[in-house]
Amino acid sequence: MPKLNLSEKTPLGFIGLGAIGLPIAINLFRAGFPLKVHTRSRKAEEHRELQGSKHCATPKETAKGCKVLLICVSDDNAVKEVLFGPRGAAGSLTPGQIVIDLSTISPSKAKLFATQLAEKDVKYVDAPVTGGTEGAKQGSLTIFVGADNNWLREITPILNVIGDSFYGFDHVGKGQEVKAINQILVAGSYAAVAEAIALGEALNLPMNKVIEGLQKGAASSWALTNRSQAMLNDYYPLGFKLQLHHKDLSIALKTAEESGLQLPITSKVKELEEELMKEGYHDEDVSVLRRSIKKTIK
């Protein structure tokens, strides 16, 4: 049984200060954790709310001397580079340290990274998050943890700062599998809201009133509540990048294929996202799916 004895004085390393990672790191720093930070562009390390943290030139430097290293980067290759690249964290990780990977990656890669780090007696936990930039800023993310309840209890002081709900799923990779299911639901709900709004506008309905009514009934969803106004305004402030969600759907579809399943709705949404990316919407919020609904010319 691990005994990390974590407290707000436990030194942490944090790698990946993007739209989700930066507010998470800020919340950990606000909570009193001594923090070493690194991000590929280096710019976000200078954020005013991280003043007093230690800025590191490499993942290897970031991992040195910290009890827990957190990673929040874009994909499998980014995590691999952070951990095992020429300047990777594995070069300075030592027995007893733990890596909490908040990134969304494939379950198979999570298992591989765990196996590789176990050779150094370093614990790797996959802990993908959901809740968008809003949840990251508010510290209200939901976290799916690929670890048993014993490990979950050990890292709870950190998770409590990041989110208000977290669930353990016993084994490495299981957190990523649950996140894949989450992204399937996100895909369907965003696409449905986009189509519903397109129809309502085509019918010249008072859409703000329509949406208020829909939120009170069985059609209510997170996407309807939090992204319908963006779709109405045709303006898509970043909550979660389209290209990252597209990557997540690729993971979900591959996971389904390996389980002998076909997911036609998810596949269709992935196709819609691919078309939008060709039109240059890579960095827009996923709610830009509204742009995929074209009006038929009669």
R_g over Cα of the chain:
20
Closest CA to 268 of 190, 207, 214, 197: 190
Contacts of 246 (CB under 8 A, 6+ apart): 270, 273, 274, 277
Parallel, antiparallel, or unpaired for β 35-38 and 123-126? Answer: unpaired
* Cβ proximity of 128 and 134 under 8 Å: no
Q: Which of 296, 295, 294, 242 is nearest to 269 (CA)?
A: 242
Catalytic annotation present for 179: yes
From the candidates 174, 179, 247, 270, give the one annotated as an active-site residue. 179
All residues at 6 or more sequence positions from 173 whose CB lies less than 8 Å from its CB, including other chains = 107, 108, 110, 111, 114, 126, 146
Catalytic residues: 179
